[in-house]
Amino acid sequence: MTYLTSGAEATVKVKGELIVKERVPKRYRIRELDERIRKERTKAEARLISEARRAGVPTPIIYDIDNSTIKMQYLDGTAMKHVIDENLSEQTGILVAELHMAGIIHGDLTTSNLICFSDRIYMIDFGLSFNDSSIEARGVDVHVLFQTFESTHHDYRALIDAFSRGYRHTCDNSGEVLERVKEIEKRGRYA
């Protein structure tokens, strides 16, 4: 098994053609509570990945869930952060709109959690995802991606414009969501 990454919540390893994501125990919690939290979060993540896939958003295929572990398809692709251009950004806008129209908020929408594989863009890492159809939640989701564009890509304005075109094309209330993104940005500036 090859170690891929480790975050605050989980470790991710490659095992042949599988990704094995395991939520790590938190020693500061009571053991029974910790086990329940990790199990519930794992089930919720797997459910949201499946819901997103049913809504037309490419995601890894889930093969098995066992307590705090998800075994899913390994996508041997390239992180969007390394290859993004205006065309890919517009396609991402369409995918995020499809996700939002399904009532799902990704929660960690960055170019590291978008993988280009077999001529498609896949969304990964739904560990912070949740169900919500509000303008505010959608706006925060998009704002996080726009901040990623700004902090990691020199042509971020063109990427934001391209994303917005794709998002407007697909999402109901897209105008309200994109206006909310501007409001959220202003809140952050003056905090």
Residues annotated catalytic, as ranges: 108
**Whole-angstrom distance, CA of residue 58 vs CA of residue 143:** 21
Q: What angle do CA 135, 130, 122 make, to 5 degrees?
A: 95
Is residue 24 within 8 Å of 42, Cβ to Cβ? no
For residue 142, count other CB atoms closer than 10 A to its CB: 28
**Whole-angstrom distance, CA of residue 112 vs CA of residue 152:** 11
**Whole-angstrom distance, CA of residue 117 vs CA of residue 109:** 17
Q: Which residues contact 61 (CB under 8 A, 6 or more apart)?
A: 53, 72, 73
Structure tokens at 160: 């934001």
Nearest one of 155, 153, 160, 158 to 182, comparing CA atoms: 160
Nearest one of 28, 26, 23 to 11, comparing CA atoms: 23
